[in-house]
A and B are shown apart, each in its own frame.
Chain A
Amino acid sequence: MIHLKVTNLHKRFGGNHVLKGVSFEVNGPELIGLIGPNGAGKTTLTNILDGAIKPTSGTVYLGERRIDQFPPFEVARAGLGRTFQVTRSFRRMTVLENLFVPALALGHARGRADLTERAMEVLEFLTIDHLRNEYAQALSGGQQKLLELGRLLMLDPDVIILDEPFAGVHPGLMEVIYAYIRRVNDAGKAIILISHQMDPIFSLCGRLLVLNFGDLIADGPPDEVKNDPAVIEAYLGAEEEETA
């Protein structure tokens, strides 16, 4: 049973209080949207969950293990994987090699043939199997997004954070990403989806977390959240400000 527990997370960069006591839990294979205006603290939260930066205070537990002091590779091995807002494929490595990295790092593969077979299954699902021997730098931006998602499938984590997976992607490839998210979620993985595009968030997610200036201002079903006055104010501004 997947259980991610974030408790009273604070992060300060000098005098800038970026996260102010964020707490939430992920129980089971939930599909959660994490939204908020620019500067809300979404990326900082993601970086703390991933181990890239340490919180000023607070804890993160994945199952029974406290992971907030782990380096990123141990967080990945503990079962939390992520993609990046700006695609970070290994550009001068082939598509297949990109997929081999997480599988070999975690020792999932049982042999060369098994590894290749699994990688090909992933690439076929993502419709980029024909590019297996191309260098990643030869792929379009959208295809590189798919490649990044493919690496996560090879990592096979319990909790997946997708940071802006739809940004700059053509509608055709967006369908592939939609299918990816649904399939991975159906396979029992918890997904935290960060996006500025509300259509996919509302059509995919059963729960939304809303951050605003480091505060978690809403946590609930999308219909409830979108009518929450605090959320409306965060996105549209206070009524007085609007009319001013």
Chain B
Amino acid sequence: MTRQIPNIAGALFLGLLVIFPLIYNGADYDYVMHILITGFFYAILAASWSMLSGYAGQFSFGHMGFMAIGAYTTGLFCHYIYLSPEPTGLCAETQLFGQWLVVVNPIGVTSTTLTQDCLRQALEAWGGSVEVTPMPVLLGIVLGAVMGAVAGFLVGMLVLRLRAAYLALFTLGFSEILKATISAEIDITRGQAGLELPPLYASGITLFGTHFGPTDKIPPYYTMLALLLVCLVILGWLAHSRFGLFVRALREDQDAAAALGVNTTRYKVLVFTVTCSMAAAAGAAQGHYVQIITPNMLFLLQMSLVVAMAVIGGIENFVAAAIGAIILQVVLELLRNSFVIGGVEIDMTIWRLVFFGLLLMITLRFFRNGLIAPLIDRFRRHGVAEETVAGRASSITGPDTAPAGGPHRTEAPD
């Protein structure tokens, strides 16, 4: 029963998240929903990063880069590609299943419309007789995830021989190059001006018998929550399969794992592919939710935030990392409220980051596996060892040979 406590607590927490939008009715409803949606976004990033770095030991600083690949893939896809029943004769186009796939001109920095140059000219020429269709957002998100997987696969292949700090520096470099490229390719990406994306549900959606408009928070809330759950289920399945076992062996000792028959190359590349795909899917969905993406999402501070969330939750437990991300996102927002002490105003918009940094330092110093993961582990491993290592060693080799001073438990856990 004790070992089931984490499952029960997890189910209750999930249940609370599912019903929360239906029972909460505060005046700041949209704001609170936004915080939680963003929390789910960070939870996907933290959980997938936990699998990559905590389980597999591949300490990557490029996770936000893969997130951006997903966001920009769907952003560019929705900006540049349309379906038309008639050829424009002006744009680059190809026929596909009886429709014309139209690729419009680069958007440039001044354009504020989704239809660019050649397509606009064609629409004017048609005078409303032909209707073009933007590409579906869902397809954009799927493409974003696929592109993230491809990029993850390629980077995974490139870093096969890199370990520890070299791997971290390589992935950091990858992320910085990506940011510079997005910033520089102004004609295509609009650079620092940012790329506008269509909303997740441009025509709204009907849920529970109620129609929600494109700006309502409930549809993106459940979309992001569903995406988080899908990612957690996949990660859970992987963690409990031979994949999970092998990537943990990879983390512990790559050479020893290889000497025992584990194809370390395959699993290193696979773990990059899977986790980067998840980061990209999260980036794509979040991009459509906030409706604008910029290269600033690749700032090192953003990556540090994800790392800190995973570390504080528990880097070696992706569920703990996800829960940590949601809780920290909420706490960081709560800490925005400034207050006055003795006539001096404490500006928490700045001090909250100090609090966050302190929490991170304390966690790293005293709780190396985070604050939540050890709790889960404590329940999960309840009663695992009734007989102590030291005691058994004594029985085998005599009392004077019991290992002294090591990390052995001297009593069974509660």
Query: Which A residues are within 8 Å of any B CB, using their own CB?
Result: 50-52, 71-73, 75-77, 81-82, 84, 88-93, 97, 100-102, 104-106, 127-128, 130-131, 133-134, 137-143, 151, 155, 170-173, 176
Contact = CB atoms under 8 A, between A and B. Distances in A.
A72 B259 contact: yes
Given A104-B245, A133-B385, A170 B263 contact: no
A93 B259 contact: no
B403 to A, nearest CB: 4
Interface in B239-277: 242, 245-246, 248-249, 251-253, 255-265
B397 interface: yes
Interface stretch (B188-196, B229-237, B404-412): B404-412
B392 A138 contact: no
Given A73-B263, A102-B260, A90 B409 contact: no
A129 B408 CA distance: 16
Nearest to B392: A130
Contacts of B251: 92
Contact of B255 (A52, A105, A133): A52
Contact of B406 (A92, A93, A101, A140): A140
A138 B408 contact: yes
How many chain B residues sit at the interface, stated as a range, is 35 or more
B344 interface: no
Contacts of A102: 260-261
A173 B396 contact: yes
Interface of B: 242, 245-246, 248-249, 251-253, 255-265, 316, 381, 384-385, 387, 389, 392-393, 396-398, 401, 403, 406-409
Contact of A88 (B253, B381, B387, B409): B253
Given A73-B259, A92-B251, A130-B392, 19 more contacts: A51-B258, A52-B258, A72-B259, A73-B262, A73-B264, A81-B259, A90-B253, A93-B245, A101-B260, A105-B260, A105-B261, A106-B261, A130-B387, A133-B381, A138-B409, A140-B403, A170-B397, A170-B401, A173-B396
Contacts of A50: 259
A101 B255 contact: no
A138 B389 contact: yes
A140 B393 contact: yes
B252 A93 contact: yes
A76 B262 CA distance: 9
A76 B252 contact: no
B249 A133 contact: no
A46 to B, nearest CB: 10
A115 B242 CA distance: 12
B245 A76 contact: no
B259 A52 contact: yes
Max count, chain B CB within 10 A of own CB: residue among A71, A76, A101: A101
A76 B258 contact: yes
Main secondary structure on A side of the interface with B:
helix
B52 to A, nearest CB: 16
Contacts of B392: 128, 130-131
Given A76-B258, A77-B261, A138-B406, A101 B397 contact: no
Given A88-B253, A90-B253, A104-B245, A172 B259 contact: no
A101 B246 contact: yes
Contacts of B396: 127, 172-173, 176
A90 B55 CA distance: 12
Contact of B384 (A93, A101, A104, A134): A134
11 contacts: A50-B259, A51-B258, A81-B260, A90-B256, A101-B260, A101-B262, A138-B408, A140-B389, A155-B260, A155-B261, A172-B396
Contacts of A151: 260
B261 A82 contact: no
Contacts of A82: 259
Contacts of A81: 259-260
B201 to A, nearest CB: 43
Across chains A and B, which 6 residue pairs bring their CB atoms closest together, nearest first? Answer: A172-B397, A105-B261, A140-B403, A90-B252, A72-B258, A76-B261
A93 B261 contact: no
B86 to A, nearest CB: 56
Contacts of A100: 245
Contacts of B248: 90, 92-93, 97
Nearest to B57: A92
A171 B401 CA distance: 10
Given A104-B242, A104-B245, A92 B261 contact: no
B242 A88 contact: no
A155 B261 CA distance: 8
B189 to A, nearest CB: 41
A93 B55 CA distance: 11
A139 B392 CA distance: 11
A39 to B, nearest CB: 21
Contacts of A88: 253, 255-256
Max count, chain A CB within 10 A of own CB: residue among B259, B387, B396: B259
